Amino acid sequence: METPTLRVSEPREMLALIPHRLGFHPHDSLVAVGLCPPRGRVGLVVRVDIADLADPAHGPALARSVVANLDRDGAERSLLVVYTAGDPRGDALVEAAVEHFREAAEAPFGDVPGWSVTDTGYRGLDCDDDCCPPGGRPLDELVTTQVNVQMVLAGSIVADRREDVGRIRPAGGEARRSVARVRRRWLSKGRVALDEGAAALERWRVDSVAAWRRAVDEQLDRPGGPTAAVLGRLEAGLADPRVRDAVLVALVPDTGDLAERCVRGERPSRKDDAALGRALALVVDPLAGVPAPPVATRVHEAVLEAVVAHGENGRQAAALTLLGMLAWWRGDGARAQVLLERALDDDGGYRLAGLLQDALACGVPPGWVRSGQ
C-alpha cells in the first residue's frame, strides 16, 4: 500500500499514518520513524517491543541497529512513538527504552521528539499536564485526519494486532480432507518417481509446476477458486525445493516457461541459470528491481493462501515463505515478518525463510524501493 502524497508533519497526521504503514495497531511497542529529504518524507518505519529495547544488556545494541537501518534508508531526522495501554510516564521500562533509542540516535539525528499513544488518548511524550490534557488528546482525532481518510479510501486495512496480519482462515473440514487425499497420493507418486530415476522425477516435478499454473487459472476463472485436485498436487509439489523455486520464478513477470525449465534435468542449464539470475534481480536488485505487479500478485497470494488454508497444519513452510516473499516484495514488511515467523514455526530449519527473515532484520528493502521507483 503506497502512502498518499499528504503532509504528515503534523503530529496527529503522523500518528494516524503509522498503523497503516505497519498494517496493525502496535501494542507495548516503540515505533521509530525516519524522515527523509525532501521536506521530511516518511521513510522507514520500525517497530520493536518496549521490553526488548529496554533490556540493559541487549537494548542499546538493538537501538543502534534500528538507527542504522533508518540512516541507511536515507533519514536525516527521526521521531519515536511509544504505544502502551496506560500513561507511560514514570514507567521504568518505557524510560529505559526511550533513553536507549535517543542515545543511539543522537549522533545521526540529533534530538528525537517523542509521542505516546495509549488506550485512551495521545500526547507529547515529554509534555506535562500544562501542555496536553491529563488523559491526552482523544484518539477520535486520529480517525478523522486527512491521512487516515485517504488511506482507508485507498483500501488500507489495519489489523487489531500484529499476529492478525498473517492470519489465514482454515478451510472447512470436508474441503481439507479432499485436498489431503490428493496430497497423499501425489506425495506417494513423487516417492515412486524418485525410486524410478531422473526421468520419472522430472515428469513429476513438471506436473507439479503445471498444478501451479492450473491453480492460478482456476483462481481467475473458477468462482470457488482452485479445486481440491489442483491444491493437493500443488501442496505436495511445494515440498520439493526444485518445485518451490520454480513457483518462485513463476511469481516474477515475463519469465515465460523458465519455471518449467528450472525443474528439468539434474540442475538448470547455464543459460537457464543466467535467466534465473535475471528474474530474481527484478525482485532484489536495486538497479534492475521492479515493483510487484499488483493484479498478478493478488492472484498469486490468493492461491498460496488457499494452499495454507486447505493444507496440513504445521507443514506449510513453503507456501508461507513464498507468501512472505511476496509481502516483502510489495513493501509490506510487517506481514512478511509474521508469515516468515509462521514458516519457521512449521520448520525451524527452512533455509529460504531464514534468509528472507535475515534480510528483514537488516532492514533490506526490495530492489524497486532502493531504485526509487
- Beta 114-117 vs 137-138: how paired, if at all? unpaired
Give a three-class secondary structure readout of 208-271. HHHHHHHHHHHHHHCCCCCCHHHHHHHHHHHCCHHHHHHHHHHCCCCCCCHHHHHCCCCCCCHH
Instruction: Give domain status of residue 89, yes or no.
Output: yes
Question: Does a structural domain hold residue 3?
Answer: no
Do 196 and 139 lie in a common domain?
A: no
CATH number reported for the structural domain that contains residue 20 in this entry:
3.40.140.10
Range of the domain at 82: 11-158
Torsion of CA 69, 75, 79, 85, to 10 degrees: -40
**Which residues, in sequence order, are CB contacts of 62 under 8 Å at separation 6+?**
48, 52, 53, 55, 100
Q: Can you give the pLDDT at residue 91?
A: 94
Same domain assignment for residues 114 and 183: no
- pLDDT, position 7: 47
Q: What is the pLDDT of residue 104?
A: 97
Whether 154 and 179 share a structural domain: no
What pLDDT does residue 359 have?
86
* Number of domains, the chain: 2
Q: What does the pLDDT read at residue 372?
A: 54
pLDDT tens per residue, range 103-118: 999 999 999 999 999 9
148 and 110 both lie in a single domain:
yes
- Confirm if 308 and 183 have CB atoms less than 8 A apart: no
pLDDT one-digit tens code per residue, 149-175:
788 777 777 888 877 778 899 999 999
Domain stop point among 111, 135, 158 = 158
> Which pLDDT score, from 0 to 100, does residue 6 have?
44
Nearest in space to 44 (alpha carbons), one of 13, 77, 10: 77
228 plus 295 within the same structural domain: yes
Last residue of a domain, one of 109, 135, 158: 158
232/253 Cα distance (integer angstroms) = 25
Q: Do 153 and 19 reside in the same domain of the chain?
A: yes
Question: What span, in angstroms and rounded, lies between the C-alpha atoms of 38 and 41?
Answer: 6
Model confidence pTM above 0.85: no
- Are 109 and 215 part of one and the same domain? no
Which ranges of the chain have pLDDT less than 70?
1-9, 129-130, 370-373
**Residue that is last in its domain, among 158, 192, 210:** 158
Let me know whether 210 and 96 are in one domain.
Answer: no
Q: Is 2 within a domain?
A: no
